[in-house]
Amino acid sequence: QQEKEDLQEKLKMREHLSQTSGKTEVTPDPSKNIDLEMKQLQCKLKVTEQIIHCILTVFSNSDVQCDFFCFRISRLERDLNMKRHLIEDLRSRLKANQENEKAYNETLESLERKVKSLTEDCSNKKTSIDSLKQRLNVATKEKSHYEQMYHKAKDELEKKDLKLYNLENKVIETECAMTELETAASQQLHGLAKQSGQALKTVQKKLLLANDKVEEFMAFVKALTTELQHSVQELRIKIRQAKKMGEARACKKGLSQESIQLAASILNVSTTDLKEILEVEDDEETAKTKMESTKDKEWLHYVQKLLEEQFPFASYLMDAILEKLNEKKKLVEEYSSLMK
Q: What is the 3-state secondary structure (H, E, C) of the chain?
A: CHHHHHHHHHHHHHHHHHHHHHHHHHCCCCCCCHHHHHHHHHHHHHHHHHHHHHHHHHCCCCHHHHHHHHHHHHHHHHHHHHHHHHHHHHHHHHHHHHHHHHHHHHHHHHHHHHHHHHHHHHHHHHHHHHHHHHHHHHHHHHHHHHHHHHHHHHHHHHHHHHHHHHHHHHHHHHHHHHHHHHHHHHHHHHHHHHHHHHHHHHHHHHHHHHHHHHHHHHHHHHHHHHHHHHHHHHHHHHHHHHHHHHHHHHHHHHCCHHHHHHHHHHHCCCHHHHHHHHCHHHHHHHHHHHHHHHHHHHHHHHHHHHHHCCCCCHHHHHHHHHHHHHHHHHHHHHHHHHHC
Burial classification of residue 289, based on how many CB atoms lie within 10 Å of its CB (0-12 exposed, 13-18 middle, 19 or more buried): middle
Taking CA atoms, 13 is separated from 19, 48, 152, 255, in Å, by 10, 10, 105, 201
Q: What is the pLDDT of residue 27?
A: 43
Say which residues have a Cβ less than 8 Å from residue 338's Cβ, sequence separation at least 6.
239, 242, 243, 246
How far apart (Å, rounded) are the C-alpha atoms in residues 100 and 159?
85
Q: Which of 95, 66, 63 is nearest to 7 (CA)?
A: 66
Q: What pLDDT sits at residue 13? A: 59
Q: Give CA–CA dist 157/164, Å, rounded.
A: 10
Handedness of CA 296, 297, 298, 300 (dihedral sign): positive
Whole-model pTM: value is 0.34
Contact between residue 66 and residue 59 where contact means Cβ atoms under 8 Å apart: yes
User: pLDDT under 70 in the chain at which residues?
Assistant: 1-35, 55-69, 246-285, 309-311, 340
Contact 3, 44 (CB under 8 A): no
Length of the chain: 340
Q: Is 340 exposed, middle or buried (0-12, 13-18, 19+ CB in 10 A)?
A: exposed
33: left (phi over 0), alpha (psi -120 to 50) or beta: left
